[in-house]
Amino acid sequence: MTTTRSQALGSEDPPLHRLAGRLLALAEAGLPAMYLPDRDSFVFTRAARPAPGGGWTLEGRGESTRYAAITALGARLLPEDRQRAVLGGHSAQEFTGLLVQRLPGVTNLGDAALIAWAAAETGHPELADALDRVAVLDAGKGPRYTVEAAWVLSALAAARDSADVERRITAARDRLLRARIGDSPLFPHATGPGLVPWYRAHVSCFADQTYPLQALARTHAGGGDPLALAAADACAARICDLQGEAGQWWWHYDARTGGLIEGYPVYSVHQHAMAPTALFDLADAGGTDFRQAIRLGLSWMAGPAELTTVSAAGTAPAAGPEPVIQDDLAITWRKVYRGDPKKAVRAARGLTTRAVRRARIAPLDRIYRPTAIDRECRPYEFGWMLYAWLAADRAPAGTPAGQAGPGPRVVAGEQG
């Protein structure tokens, strides 16, 4: 019987296995409340406001095509009856079809790429139409945001068994590899100058690392591309080297030096979904197995160090730190952050590192401590969670670095 990544934790780390199962159940419980039945889409976010008698009331805000596509990618790995429970009565393929039908009105490259990716992974018969829309939106030689460029490559890699996309894969892969600055293993926020103001062009985020490394790893897995795999491996090694002691995946990096600019906020989705899915895909492709870093990052969700106060004696946690996992609300709080006005710490560090590489402003850490919580939750957080943990486990425990075998993600009829 094929084992999912979540199930593989059962023998390797039982407490984390229970945590992963708890989070997966939360995702399935929380996503239906984010569905917009009159639009056959998903909200942009569910945000909390204080309830009159205490606690929190959640309200849906906005709508997001992007998040709907990501949710379809994750829900695809559920049995069909549970897909329909999450997707307003539709199977993942049927729901993806609704998104494909809307593509003529989609003007964002990232949104279109995610829909094409979902069409490829659900085996939708109109995949060619989705790929054509991506090609139209990706025409021209100007720069692209790195995340969107990575999604284009992932969509093409997913479609290569169903469509003639090899030339496009090569172009999309080369665009990502050329985007790196000097010999830094990290990726910038855009693939070239012009999209980001000059004074922060060196600042890149965690998503700018995980999505490219995932796309490059999947490119190698599907067709053999050692250069792409090496780039993915180098990027992964660097972000894992910079990972916080409590498992935090940090937010902003210097794309020129491969160093850290500002750690906070720490996003829940990075801990439980985005880092795992990218690093698992890297191992699946034959790259280094960063399983320990995945576990450490997931463990942060159980009790973020930033929110855990210590008793005066220093021997036990004080009562009352607010958890980021809210089982009764079927959500996870979005992030832990400094609470600094207008993101002052990030702005200051971005400007100083522009002038002085590796500069730090230590007093800011004492003034603005990361104890604030962003009380909202977005559908893509749960979509990527399902995608990360319900895929087949292709790198068994004990697999030497670089020895994990490539293979498909899907597990037909998986029961979680």
Spell out the per-residue pLDDT of the chain, length 416, in tens. Answer: 678 888 888 888 899 999 999 999 999 999 999 999 999 999 999 999 999 988 899 999 999 999 999 999 999 999 999 999 999 999 999 999 999 999 999 999 999 999 999 999 999 999 999 999 999 999 998 999 999 999 999 999 999 999 999 999 999 999 999 999 999 999 999 999 999 988 888 999 999 999 999 999 999 999 999 999 999 999 999 999 999 999 999 999 999 999 999 889 999 999 999 999 999 999 999 999 999 999 999 999 998 988 875 333 334 444 457 899 999 999 999 999 887 555 544 455 444 555 445 545 455 565 567 778 999 999 999 999 999 999 987 754 434 333 333 333 332 222 22
For residue 365, is it within any domain? yes
Round to whole Å and give the CA distance between 156 and 381: 23
For residue 46, is it within any domain? no
Burial of 186 (0-12, 13-18, 19+ CB in 10 A): buried
Domain count of the fold of the chain: 1
Q: What is the dihedral of CA 279, 379, 82, 160, to 10 degrees?
A: -50
Query: Which residues fall within 8 angstroms of residue 47, CB to CB, at 6 or more apart?
Result: 58, 59, 61, 375, 376
3-state secondary structure of 130: helix
Phi, psi of 345 (to 5 degrees): -65, -45
Round to whole Å and give the CA distance between 231 and 276: 18
For residue 24, is it within any domain? no
Residue type for 81, please? D
pLDDT value of position 288: 97
For residue 294, give its domain range.
Answer: 185-306+335-374
Round to whole Å and give the CA distance between 372 and 340: 9
pLDDT value of position 9: 85
Ramachandran region of residue 46, left (φ > 0), alpha (ψ -120 to 50) or beta?
beta
pLDDT value of position 364: 58
For residue 119, is it within any domain? no
pLDDT value of position 338: 81
Round to whole Å and give the CA distance between 9 and 246: 19
For residue 94, is it within any domain? no
For residue 204, is it within any domain? yes
For residue 312, is it within any domain? no
The total of other beta-carbon atoms located within 10 Å of residue 84's CB is 17
Q: Element (H or E) spanning 376, and its range?
A: strand 376-377
What's the chain's length in residues?
416
Q: What is the rounded end-to-end Cα distance, in angstroms, of the chain?
A: 13
Instruction: Judge contact between 59 and 331, C-beta under 8 A.
Output: no
For residue 245, is it within any domain? yes
pLDDT value of position 367: 53
Please give the model's pTM, rounded to 2 decimal places: 0.88
